[in-house]
Amino acid sequence: MLRSSPRSPARAVAVLAAGLLAALTACSGSESHLAADGVPTTIDIAENPDGGSFRLLTYNVGGLPVEINEGHPDVDLPQISPLLNDFELVLTQEDYDWWKPEGLASGFDFVNYHGRLRAQANHEYQSPQHPGPAEVGVDLAERPDLELGDGLGILADLPVDGDERVPWTGCFGGFSQDDGGKADCLAMKGFQVTELTLPNGAEVAIYNINAESGTNHRDQQLQAVDFEQLATHIAEHAAGRAVIVAGHTNLVLDDTAPASGGGQDGRIWEAFLESAGLTDACRAGACDDELVDRVAYRSGDDVELAATSHTLRGDRFVGADGDPLSTFEPLEVGFDWGPQQPG
């Protein structure tokens, strides 16, 4: 059983709340599974090495301390855990597993949330803990407000290899938020990269992301730089290969929404898709321009990918009381894969 740590003093709660609340929650073989209807089923992921399908779930689990959280992650994350087994590939955000030693988070029960989220997840492949700032090139002397890791995690039934963590080159917003930011500098936000191997040996580069939040001019500048950085990484490390990018973009694509920055969010997203040669998976379902959790993909030289479904799964991820298990709705995308077709 996971041990619960004592609560922090009220003053520490207040200080942490000032930064974290708006910062990181801001918008702006065969395996046994439960099918979507809750009926047990068996998925043989190696049934046909020449083609098949898998389901991806991207989910911002809202894993901030309950003291400053609109939800109840201490209760909800253990309920999310077994539901993840329904998906062959799971990408999570705000699933924090690194905290600054002796920092503000160290006295919270919050430090056990990551373990609870994975306690009943049966995926054979699970990403390791974030290695810390030094290993990813972050200098704590230059980031005095830094308290947390990137909050990114991957669980998979299909083999995945590697766990590269790349922080964004910049961030805006500290504890006080007097600067008008959303305290993004409290976490090592960025992207996580791993290689997924399909049964025919073809590889897919998987990118799990959590982008800069906020809607002021500086936030918008950094969002543009973030996605340029991501596109550059894909060009340099995944040339000719299949790619899936999924996670919390913090981009609102509805140009009429105040959070869209006058349409700047949409321009950032479209420029990124074009630069990386990606297709928004929402085209396999209904595209919602207010949805900030997104999945994009492309085929590679040795494998063809096709999104076959795009479904919000708020119906599945609810507690016994019927309330959502996170303040963010999980997104499921179904993929078919097979040999690259000529022409």
Give the integer Cα–Cα distance in Å for 77 and 111: 13
What stretches of 129-206 show up as alpha helix (H) in DSSP? Answer: none
Q: Which two tokens stand for residue 262?
A: 């006058």
Task: Count how many domains the chain has.
Answer: 1
pLDDT value, residue 16: 45
In a domain, 118, yes or no: yes
User: By residue range, what is the domain housing residue 146?
Assistant: 49-338
In a domain, 286, yes or no: yes
Specify the CATH number for the domain of residue 111: 3.60.10.10
Residue 327: Cβ within 10 Å count: 17
In a domain, 247, yes or no: yes
b vs e for 289-319, b when ≥16 Cβ sit within 10 Å of the residue's Cβ?
Answer: bebbbbbbbbbbebbbbebeebbbbeebbee
Residues 77, 61 contacting (CB under 8 angstroms): yes
Helix (H, G, I), strand (E, B), or coil: what is residue 218? helix
pLDDT value, residue 66: 83
b vs e for 37-64, b when ≥16 Cβ sit within 10 Å of the residue's Cβ?
Answer: eeeeeebebeeeeeebbbbbbbbbbbbb
DSSP letters along 262-312, please? TTHHHHHHHHHHHHHT-EEGGGGS---TT--EEEEEE-BTTBEEEEEEEEE
In a domain, 277, yes or no: yes
Cα–Cα distances (Å) from 313 to 87, 120, 217, in that order, read 12, 19, 33
In a domain, 20, yes or no: no
pLDDT value, residue 28: 40
In a domain, 31, yes or no: no
Residue-level pLDDT, tens digit, the chain, 343 residues: 222 223 333 333 443 444 444 444 444 433 333 444 443 333 344 456 679 999 999 999 999 888 877 888 999 999 999 999 999 999 999 999 999 998 988 888 999 999 999 999 999 999 999 999 999 999 999 999 999 999 999 999 999 999 999 999 999 887 766 666 668 899 999 999 999 999 989 999 999 999 998 888 888 999 999 999 999 999 999 999 999 999 999 999 999 998 898 999 999 999 999 999 999 999 998 899 999 999 999 999 999 999 999 999 999 999 989 999 999 999 999 999 999 877 6
pLDDT value, residue 22: 44
In a domain, 18, yes or no: no
55: closest CA among 86, 22, 17, 101?
Answer: 86
What stretches of the chain show up as alpha helix (H) in DSSP? Answer: 10-25, 73-83, 113-118, 217-237, 264-276
**For the chain, first and last CA: distance in Å?**
55
Q: Which helix (H) or strand (E) holds 248?
A: strand 242-248
In a domain, 26, yes or no: no
pLDDT value, residue 234: 98
Name residue, tokens 């550059």.
Answer: 232
Give the integer Cα–Cα distance in Å for 252 and 259: 6
Name residue, tokens 């991207």.
Answer: 58
pTM metric for this prediction: 0.87
- Mode of pairing for the β-strands spanning 203-210 and 242-248: parallel
278: closest CA among 221, 238, 334?
Answer: 238
Helix (H, G, I), strand (E, B), or coil: what is residue 38? coil
Give the integer Cα–Cα distance in Å for 300 and 238: 9
Name residue, tokens 């990118």.
Answer: 207
Residues 108, 75 contacting (CB under 8 angstroms): no
